Amino acid sequence: MDELIKKIEEYQKELLSFDASDASQTEEFRIKFLGTKGIVKSLMAEMKALPAEQKKEAGKWINSFKELAEQKYQEFKAKTQQISAAQSAEADLTLPGDEIPLGARHPVSLMRNRIVSIFRRLGFSVADGPEIEDDWHNFGALNLPEHHPARDMQDTFYIQQDPAVLLRTHTSNVQIREMEKGKLPIRGIYPGRVYRNETISARSHCFFHQVEGLYVDENVSFADLKQTLYFFVKEMFGKEARVRFRPSYFPFTEPSAEMDVSCFICGGEGCSVCKKTGWVEILGCGMVHPNVLSNCGINPEKYTGFAFGMGIERPAMLKYGIQDIRLFSENDIRFLKSFCSAV
């Protein structure tokens, strides 16, 4: 037993004086101390020959020696790996670096940026708001009281414990939040993600993106609304584009309209994109309802405003020839890569 301990002490000295400065010396160390025919294994064999009552004590000695050898080996490994990395870098500094794959803008972002930049030129500033919203900012303040049938057009996702909290169905909540601030005039554009409880198909999804706009000041009229949107359409779809307004209904605007653009694929001749009508529906709009202004503390006798809202996916699908709305959120790198050169 004493002999064994002495031996271990000798080996320990030897181990502590060992220094490895490259990978092959590290390997040499491993084979010598930890290999199948190495010192640790041979000490274990010796231990087996000892009488039973000494085995426990000997085992402790061998184990702590083994731990020391393993620790040293890990140190050598880390050190020599660093050295060899540094050496290979020194070897040829002109080698090209690892390739970093370049991404591309998502088509939804491309379209959003285009829309936003056109309105910015007209003096609209961008604001955003929460996607998780309360009932008041998404519905109530917009003249959509509880149980109002028009809520059916925009069913959303509720949280069971508190139905007053929901995922916003439009970015009109930002319009309300901006009006509540009480700083007039307002000329804002509100891009963002919205949610609807709809069956997912090639044409509709349970979430999509919108850009809404709002202009509130004294003497704002429907003529301002038309001219603003007309400018937008010319910039977005080209000088030849024509527009038409169809009367419509939204609880938060009065009067309300849907705006169509002459089909920018066929120029109005009739094709599969415009379903042979020559027109493509682009957005909803109207004059802000007086109730909505008062709900936000704005005097409707003094101020008027217009608002509009459009989806982003639909014009993006038309512009880039995308057949299925689900592609936008599938994160398929092949799909995304195809927009590398798009603007």
Binding site for ligand PHE (CB under 6 A): 170, 172, 212, 250, 253, 284-286, 307-309
How far is it, in rounded angstroms, from Cα 225 to Cα 253?
A: 12
Tell me how far apart the alpha carbons of residues 213 and 248 are, in angstroms, rounded to a whole number.
18
Nearest distance from residue 244's CB to ligand PHE, in Å?
16
Residue 212, both tokens: 């809404």
d(CA 264, CA 271): 10
Q: Which two tokens stand for residue 276?
A: 């042979």
- DSSP states along 77-114: HHHHHHHHHHHHHHH-TTS-----------HHHHHHHH
Q: Minimum Å distance from CB 170 to ligand PHE? A: 3
CA distance 111 to 315: 8
- In contact, 171 and 137? CB cutoff 8 Å: no
Q: Could you give the strand order of the β-sheet that contains 132-134, starting from the edge strand earlier in sequence?
A: 132-134, 162-167, 158-159
C-beta closer to ligand PHE: residue 11 or 215: 215
Q: Is 184 exposed, middle or buried (0-12, 13-18, 19+ CB in 10 A)?
A: middle
Q: Cα 83 from chain centroid?
A: 40
* Shortest separation between residue 306's beta carbon and ligand PHE, angstroms: 8
Residue 243 CB, shortest distance to ligand PHE, in Å, is: 15
Q: Least Å distance between CB 185 and ligand PHE?
A: 17
C-alpha to C-alpha distance for 294 and 281, rounded to whole angstroms: 30
Nearer to ligand PHE, 270 or 300 (CB): 300
Q: Rounded to the nearest whole angstrom, what is the least distance from the CB of residue 229 to ligand PHE in the complex? A: 11
Name the residue nearer to ligand PHE (CB basis): 61 or 215: 215
- Cis preceding linkage at 191, omega within 30: no
C-beta of 144: minimal distance to ligand PHE in Å?
Answer: 10
